[in-house]
């Protein structure tokens, strides 16, 4: 009974949409496109269901799938290298296979003579097998290549591609087979529309799925981007360079016919901000994705260090060693102002310094250069911040370091799902600091027995507008420093112990 009751409760949470920062928009046109607040609908059963889906293929065979009717197995080109759970693990030349089994995204694979036709939002696949008389169109699939399939309102803003397998018209020669650009590597088609403009979404919906989908090609892959934005290319060029050797193609803007022999349309996605090694070719994990960030940002960071050294030498200052191995442990506070700000942040900084940390306050802005934020976090031992999209930067922390997320009232589930759990998968030591009612600015506005303070779940159950209006847009945090101090001291001791262990290993 208890279990049942809880399940109902969880199911209700499911319908709660989740908001994210307005301030994360990099480019105003991307932000203005939707007048609605940035909803981040997330279905709880999605996590439950997706774990079921992972298990399902081992339990249930796929004989009822329409795919198995279209593509009888046993094709000569069957490959065993792809993930077992994918119904499209083997695609015959001249065919399109769409895997629509995931609740998060559809992915279609085409093999053969592939040609883009951007003015009709189509990709053709000319099938010469059995060519001759008969109908022209053999197969047609529609797909919106974005990873938030369970949010119809978001998906409605994404361009839809039509994939058409057809027989070449034998009475026409030459022209219909015109290629403007031949590519001898596969294409990956995806959209940078939707919620692109918010750092959480850029990593969760875009970059990590792009890594999952394309890493097996070892950079021998061309990205074909719908709703292409120059600023997105500029912002992520350091990372893109390590995913592809080729210039990305602006699908809508480039009217030439691009020809490929293999195309993946849509991105695979595993879970929130993570890479599931059991579903990835080569057993890749989120740490491998992080290695790409490290490689990508390294040249820029080294450039910054050289500049700083140069400036120092201009001032005739003696050059100090850049990073002292045995300096104080470093703590970074990811700071917000406005809603979900820490009202006593200065006192927090003082306290952390007294404990023995060297403290840096970072305020990510729309225009912040990610390499600079990476540099701060990659060189730090502890990151502290209040739940919000900027927590996505936990990806920049080294595995083994500490991430303390301050969890305002009413945001427990979201904080754990979007950041806490993924951080643990990266190998961070995660501490979720759930504030007490007295630590919330809402304590001054509501009676102490009001459900807003006493039972946030009941407020969240009333609907998304309430979560947003009460807990996300209007809540600030005044940390109980006595209580919070314990976490910092624990983190300090943990960091010092880890350093000593490393030193002992080194001196052996
Ligand atoms: C696949 O089909 C295309 C045209 O339909 C053909 O040119 C190509 O050689 C085929 N590739 C393989 C590996 O059979
Ligand atoms: C093939 O091309 C010819 C000449 O353009 C055209 O008349 C005919 O309708 C086409 N056939 C099909 C099936 O599209
Ligand atoms: C990140 O930190 C590690 C360990 O201190 C270091 O080896 C690496 O070079 C750093 N990465 C960058 C890009 O500076
Ligand atoms: C945040 O701080 C900056 C500069 O300190 C200020 O310009 C901005 O208006 C503040 N934003 C909010 C929401 O208070």
Which atom number of ligand 3 is nearest to the Cα of residue 375?
14
Tokens describing residue 475:
């809540």
Which residue's C-alpha comes closest to atom 13 of ligand 2? Answer: 136
Domain boundary among 272, 291, 309: 272
Residue 177 has what pLDDT?
A: 66
Please identify, among 255, 272, 289, the residue that sits at the C-terminal boundary of a domain.
272
Structure tokens at 295: 């490689």
Residue pLDDT, tens place only, 182-238: 999 999 999 999 999 899 999 999 999 999 999 999 999 999 999 999 999 999 999
pLDDT at 45 over 80: no
Identify the band that residue 32 occupies on the pLDDT scale cut at 50, 70 and 90: very low
Q: How far apart are CA 168 and CA 176, in angstroms?
A: 8
Closest CA to 302 of 323, 278, 271: 323
Residue 329 clears pLDDT 80, i.e. is over it: yes
Ligand nearest to the CA of 94: 1
Q: Are 491 and 431 in contact (CB under 8 A)?
A: yes
> What is the whole-number distance in angstroms between the Cα of residue 170 and the centre of ligand 2?
8
Which residue out of 128, 261, 263 has the highest number of ligand 1 atoms within 8 Å of its CB and is therefore the one to mutate? Answer: 261
Do both 218 and 361 map to the same domain?
no
Considering the domain boundaries, does residue 314 fall inside one? no
In a domain, 196, yes or no: yes
Based on the domain organization, do 187 and 267 belong to the same domain? yes
Q: Does the residue 53 lie in any domain?
A: no
Q: What percent of the chain stands above pLDDT 70?
A: 77
342 and 268, same structural domain? no
Say what the pLDDT of residue 460 is: 95
d(CA 103, CA 85): 14
pLDDT at residue 238 in the model = 96
- The pLDDT, as a whole number, for residue 384 is 98
For residue 134, what pLDDT is reported? 52
CA angle (263, 269, 94) in 5-degree steps: 20
Mutation to probe ligand 2, out of 169, 174, 177 (largest number of atoms < 8 A from CB): 169
Q: 356 and 227 in one domain?
A: no
Does residue 503 surpass a pLDDT of 70? yes
Mean pLDDT value across the chain: 83
User: Is there a single domain that holds both residue 265 and residue 167?
Assistant: yes
Q: Tell me if 229 is assigned to some domain.
A: yes
The parent domain of residue 372 ranges over 330-507
136 lines ligand 2 (CB under 6 A): yes
- Is residue 437 packed enough to be buried (19+ CB in 10 Å), middle (13-18) or exposed (0-12)? middle
Question: For residue 280, is it within any domain?
Answer: no
Q: Does the structure show a pLDDT above 50 at 111?
A: yes
Which of 229, 246, 272 is where one domain is finished? 272
Indicate the angle between helix axes 230-240 and 370-378, nearest 10 degrees: 40
Domain identity same for 197 and 91: yes
Per-residue pLDDT averaged across 49-53, rounded? 35
Q: Which is higher by pLDDT, 38 or 302?
A: 302
From the CA of 338, how far away is ligand 4's center (Å)? 7
Same domain, residue pair 169 and 256: yes
Cα 305 to Cα 262: distance, rounded to the nearest angstrom:
42
What phi, psi does 114 have (nearest 5°)? -105, 135
- Protein residue whose Cα sits closest to atom 1 of ligand 3: 378
Total number of domains constituting the chain: 2
Q: What is the pLDDT of residues 275-315, one digit of tens each?
A: 999 999 899 999 999 999 999 999 999 999 999 999 888 87
The pLDDT of residue 43 is above 80: no
Q: Please, which contacts does 296-302 make with residues 24 or more away whose CB atoms are closer than 8 Å?
A: 296/238, 296/239, 296/241, 296/242, 297/238, 297/370, 297/371, 297/374, 297/375, 297/378, 299/238, 300/238, 300/369, 300/371, 301/371, 301/374, 301/375
DSSP state of 435: P
Tell me, yes or no, whether 63 lies in a domain. no
Are both 262 and 350 inside the same structural domain?
Answer: no
The domain that contains 368 carries what CATH number? Answer: 3.40.50
pLDDT at 320: 56
298 lines ligand 3 (CB under 6 A): yes
Residue 248 shares a structural domain with residue 353: no
37 class by beta-carbon count within 10 Å (0-12 exposed, 13-18 middle, 19+ buried): middle
Buried residues in 374-402 as b, exposed as e (16+ CB within 10 A): bbbbbbbbbbbbbbbbbbbbbbbbbeebb
103 belongs to a structural domain: yes
DSSP 146: -
pLDDT, residue 56, reads 34
Secondary structure class of 259 (helix, strand, coil): strand
Q: What is the pLDDT of residue 167?
A: 83
Q: Which residues line ligand 4 (CB under 6 A)?
A: 337-338
Q: Residue 353: phi, psi to the nearest 5?
A: -65, -40
Contact 264, 222 (CB under 8 A): no
Ligand 2 pocket mutation pick from 135, 136, 172, 177 by most atoms within 8 angstroms of CB: 172
Whether 305 is covered by a domain: the verdict is no
> What is the residue with the minimal CA distance to atom 14 of ligand 1?
93
pLDDT for the residue 505: 81
Is pLDDT of 117 > 90?
yes
Pocket flag, ligand 3, residue 304 (CB < 6 Å): no
Q: Please give the distance, rounded to the nearest whole angstrom, from the Cα atom of residue 336 to the centre of ligand 4.
A: 9
């Amino acid at each position: 009974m208890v279990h049942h009751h809880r399940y109902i409760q969880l199911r209700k949470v499911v319908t709660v949409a989740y908001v994210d920062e307005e301030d994360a928009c990099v480019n105003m046109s991307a932000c203005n496109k939707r007048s609605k607040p940035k909803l981040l609908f997330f279905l709880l059963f999605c996590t439950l269901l997706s774990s079921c889906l992972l298990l399902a293929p081992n339990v249930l065979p796929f004989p009822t799938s329409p795919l198995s009717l279209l593509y009888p197995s046993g094709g000569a080109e069957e490959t065993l290298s792809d993930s077992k759970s994918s119904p499209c693990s083997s695609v015959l030349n001249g065919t399109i296979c769409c895997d629509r089994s995931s609740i998060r995204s559809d992915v279609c694979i085409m093999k053969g003579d592939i040609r883009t036709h951007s003015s009709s939002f189509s990709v053709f696949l000319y099938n010469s097998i059995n060519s001759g008389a008969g109908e022209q169109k053999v197969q047609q699939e529609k797909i919106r290549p974005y990873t938030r399939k369970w949010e119809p309102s978001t998906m409605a803003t994404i361009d839809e591609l039509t994939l058409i397998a057809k027989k070449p018209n034998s009475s026409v020669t030459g022209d219909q087979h015109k290629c403007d650009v031949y590519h001898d590597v596969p294409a990956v088609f995806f959209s940078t529309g939707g919620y692109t403009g918010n750092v959480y979404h850029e990593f969760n919906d875009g970059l990590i799925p792009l890594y999952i989908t394309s890493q097996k090609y070892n950079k021998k892959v061309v990205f074909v981007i719908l709703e292409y934005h120059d600023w997105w290319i500029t912002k992520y060029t350091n990372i893109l360079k390590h995913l592809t050797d080729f210039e990305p193609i602006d699908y809508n803007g480039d009217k030439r016919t691009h020809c490929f022999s293999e195309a993946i349309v849509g991105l695979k996605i595993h879970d929130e901000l993570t890479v599931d090694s059991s579903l990835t070719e080569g057993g890749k994990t989120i740490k491998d994705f992080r290695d790409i960030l490290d490689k990508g940002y390294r040249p820029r960071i080294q450039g910054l260090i050289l500049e700083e050294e140069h400036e120092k030498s201009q001032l005739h200052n003696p050059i100090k060693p850049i990073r002292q191995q045995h300096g104080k442990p470093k703590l970074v506070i990811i700071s917000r102002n406005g809603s979900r700000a820490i009202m006593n942040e200065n006192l927090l900084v003082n306290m952390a310094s007294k404990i023995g940390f060297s403290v840096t306050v970072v305020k990510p802005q729309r225009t912040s250069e990610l390499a600079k934020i990476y540099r701060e976090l990659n060189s730090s031992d502890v990151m502290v911040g209040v739940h919000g999209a900027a927590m996505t930067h936990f990806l920049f922390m080294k595995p083994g370091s500490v991430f303390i997320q301050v969890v305002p009232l009413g945001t427990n589930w979201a904080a754990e799902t979007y950041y806490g759990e993924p951080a643990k998968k990266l190998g961070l030591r995660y501490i979720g600091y759930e504030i007490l009612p007295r630590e919330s600015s809402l304590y001054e506005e509501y009676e102490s027995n009001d459900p807003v303070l006493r039972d946030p779940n009941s407020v969240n159950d009333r609907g998304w507008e309430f979560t947003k209006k009460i807990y996300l847009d209007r809540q600030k945090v005044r940390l109980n420093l006595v209580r919070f101090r314990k976490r910092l001291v624990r983190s300090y001791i943990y960091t010092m112990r880890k350093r000593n262990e490393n030193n002992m290993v080194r001196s052996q």
